[in-house]
Chain A
Amino acid sequence: MDNHSRSRLFRLSLLTLTLIMRVAYAAAQDPDKPLALLRQTGANYKIRVQTNAPFTAGARVSAVLSNKSNLITWVENVADCAGEALNQFCKELDNGRVVINYRLPAKPQASDKFKVTFAISDQSGRGSFRSIDLITDFKPGGPRIDNVCGNGLIVEFQTDNNSLTEAETNYYRTRLLELNKWLKDNESEPSRMAIVHVEPLSEPSPGDPIVRDFSVDPAADPQQSSHALDVEAALDSQRVLICLKLNETLPNGKFNAQVVLQKNPPFEFDRPLSKALVGRKATAVPIASKVADENKLGLRAFDNNLEVGMLFTSSVKDVKANNRTTRQRQSRGALDLRFAPLLRDRTNPPQAKTWQLFRTPLFLDAKVSTGKVSEESLSLNRVLIGTEFNFRYVEGTKKGERNKYVITVRGTNASDRDFKVAEAKGEFEFRPIFEMFNQPLRIQHKSSRSVLIPDGPPVEVASGFFGYQIQPFIGVEAGRVYRRRRATFRNEEQSRTVRRLLLGADLAFNLTPRLNITMTDIFFVRGETPAHRSRNYFIGTVEAPLGNINRNAAQSVFFSFERGDQPPFVSPSVNAIKFGYRVRSDFFSTGSAR
Chain B
Amino acid sequence: MPTRTEMKTALKDRIQLDDPGNFNSNVNNWDQVRLGIYYDEDKELIDIAVYETTANIVATSGKFLPGPVWRNLLTQVGPGNTPEQVVDPMMDAAVRSVRRQENDEGPISDRPPKKPTLRSARKPTNG
Contact = CB atoms under 8 A, between A and B. Distances in A.
A241 B116 contact: no
Nearest to A240: B95
Given A146-B72, A162-B6, A446 B52 contact: no
B126 interface: no
A444 B39 CA distance: 11
Contacts of B2: 236-237
A446 B3 CA distance: 31
Interface size class of A (residues with CB under 8 A): 35 or more
Nearest to A443: B40
A435 to B, nearest CB: 8
B113 A351 contact: yes
Contacts of B49: 397
B109 interface: yes
Contacts of B48: 350-352, 394, 397
Contacts of A404: 44
Interface in A350-382: 350-352, 354-357
B96 A233 contact: no
Contacts of A146: 72, 76, 89, 92
Interface string B37-75: 101111011011101100100000100010011111011
Contacts of A309: none
Contact of B122 (A222, A389, A399): A389
Contact of A348 (B32, B96, B116): B116
Contacts of A352: 48, 52
A161 B37 contact: no
B10 interface: no
A271 interface: no
Interface of B: 1-6, 14, 17-22, 25-26, 28-29, 32-34, 36-37, 39-42, 44-45, 47-49, 51-52, 55, 61, 65, 68-72, 74-76, 89, 91-92, 94-98, 108-109, 113, 115-118, 121-122, 124
Given A239-B91, A349-B113, A148 B1 contact: no
Nearest to A215: B96
Given A146-B72, A160-B5, A350-B44, 13 more contacts: A148-B92, A218-B95, A237-B1, A237-B91, A238-B3, A239-B92, A346-B71, A347-B109, A351-B51, A351-B113, A399-B20, A455-B29, A458-B32
Interface in A547-590: none
A114 B118 CA distance: 61
A236 to B, nearest CB: 4
Given A146-B72, A354-B115, A448-B26, A394 B44 contact: yes
A75 B108 CA distance: 64
A146 B76 CA distance: 9
B108 to A, nearest CB: 6
A39 B55 CA distance: 34
Contacts of A355: 116-118, 121
B65 A447 contact: no
Given A233-B1, A350-B44, A458-B33, A447 B121 contact: no
Given A238-B3, A238-B4, A447-B22, A350 B96 contact: no
A445 interface: yes
B4 A447 contact: no
Contacts of B71: 147, 346
A158 B28 CA distance: 26
B70 A162 contact: no
A533 interface: no
Given A237-B3, A357-B122, A398 B18 contact: yes
Contacts of A447: 22, 25-26, 33-34, 37
Interface string A497-517: 000000000000000000000
A218 B96 contact: yes
A161 B18 contact: no
A445 B37 CA distance: 7
Contacts of B94: 237, 239
B96 A148 contact: yes
Contacts of B96: 148, 217-218, 241
A350 B51 contact: yes
Contacts of B69: 148
A30 interface: no
A447 B25 CA distance: 7
Nearest to B55: A349
